[in-house]
């Protein structure tokens, strides 16, 4: 029986029901202690009774709770109460895209709104994929929108994260949970149980975009088996057949909806950028042959891509991939069985993939411009101005992050996991600013040590910020690395921030010693119960990169550290890397800044090289 307003559940107080489905019910609930209302999802008792499902649910809900992204609904808590598993999430006061489509846009949403929805959702998906998670149920009903007027800022969020599904065995299909909606947006390789990566979510996002633009699902039919068969065999119908003015979008959608994942865009943000570019072009001048032929080169605003693509992380390496010979025959043979066993492949949840086998971020190819021939007759006119520098797309900020494998390789295994052959792990990852001013003495020098500082970038007008901290493992301390990227709307804004911070770094190195009668020891930093006292080297300034080395000792913990800080700028992007090593020394006051090496500079340069000039 559904809960009523005022009922209690796991300490929460129910306000009202928000919705229900085959997996359970969702309620608006008052938090037990905080002055906050959450969306509380209760899973059905028969689902909760499955032991293997319960273990997977708890594990994957924990993983989902570590995600923070402006376009992902946050997961707060999970547990089991009265024989029911539950999970609490942010409450989004708005409507899902499917509801808006039915209520307001029966013939399809405005193209500008769809482009905005796709861009936001793609950003959240790429972030999740970088953390080793797949969504597997991207659809209009799982995309939430707040207000639709211009008075307040609209938010677009992807929801239903952390809900594990029973996907162990394709024989688990039952008549109660098999619906056309289950498969309407599902990728072919997901339907046939083949190996999955982030491009399965991209297919679902493209199918969602088609529905939002046209007002009808990609393959509309009342029989789910027919829908599955069309996903596996039938090319996507052209948007132009419904809305001729949307013809420029057809090649982009055809790429994202390719049956073979290898023929799709490399990342969801590539698809979003290509869609935005196509939407901005006039039908009479649109040319999208490149989008259909080469997914990784479909849009000039898409992030740079690898010239030779490594194998992406998958669930089942022993299975033939979708690009193997015979896959088309296998897909045909599996169409009927997939219709009879779709729950395993089409239900949603998080899929954990191997972090250490994740493909490295794409690297920007170099380009050379041919020199113009000299004029036969000298003219007394000024030469044409140089072309403006390329602007890096904020939506592609994830591509700037170095992978743990790249970091280990670039540093000669110095920044590695527990052993030199293992990778570091991402201990902290965010798209927001932090406030560590209370940990640094004097607070004005906080930007020297930390990357995404509120006091440094608040009010700077940046578009996107990305910050990652990596450790040898989740259980040990030792070498630590922080990489930060900040995308500004213009080159001038990025350059101004770099110059301002250069001056601030120099002022920090000029501070007097905190210990009378000594040199150095200019800064203090709290670290747990103890704290470091840092000696700073002079700031070395190059055309686009500044570096500074630091040596710190902790009298209470007896540990020493040496760090190189690097801050670089290229076009409209600012990059900061802090590469810190644990140092074993018998010195009572450690001040050898040369022990830091040049790892910060090396890694910052590698990130800058990804930015096209």
Cross-strand bridge partners of residue 562: 551, 581
Q: Cα–Cα–Cα angle for 172, 177, 178, nearest 5°?
A: 85
- Residue corresponding to tokens 């990342």: 267
Can the peptide bond before residue 438 be classed as cis, meaning omega within 30 degrees of 0? no
For residue 190, which of 23, 359, 344 has the smallest C-alpha distance?
A: 344
Contacts with 319 (C-beta within 8 Å, 6 or more apart), sequence order: 194, 195
Separation of alpha carbons 58 and 61, rounded Å: 5
Q: Is 38 a catalytic residue?
A: no
Cross-strand bridge partners of residue 441: 524
Contacts with 210 (C-beta within 8 Å, 6 or more apart), sequence order: 217, 218, 236, 239, 253, 257
Separation of alpha carbons 108 and 511, rounded Å: 62
For residue 40, which of 68, 72, 76 has the smallest C-alpha distance?
A: 76
**Cβ atoms of residues 114 and 97 within 8 Å:** no
Active-site annotation holder among 126, 137, 201, 467: 137
- Residue corresponding to tokens 């809960």: 3
For residue 463, which of 550, 391, 536 has the smallest C-alpha distance?
A: 391
- According to the 3-state scheme, what is the secondary structure of 160-190? CCCCCCCCCCHHHCCCCCCCHHHHCCCCHHH
Cross-strand bridge partners of residue 549: 564
The maximal CA–CA distance of the chain, rounded, in angstroms, is 90
Give the residue numbers marked as catalytic.
Answer: 137
């Amino acid at each position: 029986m559904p809960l009523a307003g005022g009922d209690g559940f796991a300490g929460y107080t129910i306000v009202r029901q928000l919705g229900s489905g085959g997996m359970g019910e969702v309620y608006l609930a008052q938090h037990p202690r905080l002055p906050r209302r959450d969306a509380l999802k209760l899973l059905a008792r028969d689902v909760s009774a499955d032991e293997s499902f319960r273990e997977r649910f708890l594990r994957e809900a924990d993983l989902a709770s570590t995600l923070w992204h402006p376009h992902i609904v946050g997961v707060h808590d999970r547990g089991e109460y009265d024989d029911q598993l539950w999970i609490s999430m942010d409450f989004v006061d708005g409507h899902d895209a499917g509801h808006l489509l039915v209520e307001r846009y029966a013939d399809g949403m405005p193209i500008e709104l769809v482009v905005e929805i796709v861009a936001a959702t793609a950003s959240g998906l790429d972030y999740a994929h970088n953390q080793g998670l797949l969504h597997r149920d991207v659809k209009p009903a799982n995309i939430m929108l707040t207000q639709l007027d211009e008075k307040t800022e609209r938010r677009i969020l992807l929801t239903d994260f952390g809900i594990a599904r029973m996907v162990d065995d394709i024989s688990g299909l039952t008549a109660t949970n098999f619906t056309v909606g289950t498969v309407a947006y599902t990728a072919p390789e997901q339907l046939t149980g083949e190996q999955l990566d982030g491009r399965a979510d991209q297919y679902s996002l493209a199918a969602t975009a088609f529905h939002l633009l046209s007002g009808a699902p990609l393959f509309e039919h009342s029989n789910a088996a027919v829908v599955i068969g069309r996903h596996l065999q039938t090319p996507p119908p052209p948007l132009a057949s419904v809305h001729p003015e949307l013809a420029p979008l057809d090649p982009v959608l055809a790429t994202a909806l390719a049956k073979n994942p290898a023929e799709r865009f490399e990342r969801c943000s590539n698809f979003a950028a290509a869609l935005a570019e196509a939407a901005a072009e006039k039908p009479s001048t649109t040319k999208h042959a490149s989008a259909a032929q080469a997914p990784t080169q479909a849009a000039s605003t898409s992030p740079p891509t690898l010239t030779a693509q490594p194998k992406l992380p998958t669930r089942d390496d022993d299975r033939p991939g979708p690009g193997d010979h015979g896959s088309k025959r296998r897909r045909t043979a599996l169409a009927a069985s997939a219709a009879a066993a779709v729950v395993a492949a089409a239900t949603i949840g998080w899929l954990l993939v191997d972090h250490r086998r994740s493909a490295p971020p794409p690297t920007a190819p170099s380009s050379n411009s041919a020199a113009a021939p000299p004029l036969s007759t000298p003219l007394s006119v000024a030469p044409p101005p140089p072309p403006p520098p390329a602007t890096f797309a904020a939506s592609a900020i994830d591509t700037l992050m170095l992978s743990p494998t790249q970091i280990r390789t670039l540093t000669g295994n110095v920044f590695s996991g527990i052993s030199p052959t293992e990778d570091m792990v991402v201990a902290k990852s965010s798209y927001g600013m932090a406030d560590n001013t209370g940990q640094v003495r004097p607070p004005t020098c906080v930007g020297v040590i930390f990357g995404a500082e509120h006091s440094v970038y608040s009010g700077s007008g940046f578009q996107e910020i990305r910050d990652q901290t990596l450790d040898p493992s989740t259980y040990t301390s030792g070498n630590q690395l922080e990489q930060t990227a900040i995308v500004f709307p213009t080159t001038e804004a990025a350059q101004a921030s770099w110059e301002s911070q250069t001056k601030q770094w120099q002022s920090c190195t000029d501070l007097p010693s905190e210990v009378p009668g000594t040199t150095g020891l200019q800064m203090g930093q709290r670290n747990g119960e103890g704290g470091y006292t840092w000696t700073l080297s002079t700031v070395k300034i190059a055309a686009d990169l500044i570096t500074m080395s630091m040596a710190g000792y902790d009298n209470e913990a007896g540990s020493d550290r040496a760090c190189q800080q690097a801050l670089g700028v290229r076009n409209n992007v600012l990059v900061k890397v802090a590469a810190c090593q644990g140092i074993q020394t018998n010195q009572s006051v450690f001040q050898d800044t040369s022990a830091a090496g040049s790892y910060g500079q090396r890694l910052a340069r590698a990130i800058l090289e990804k930015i096209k000039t």
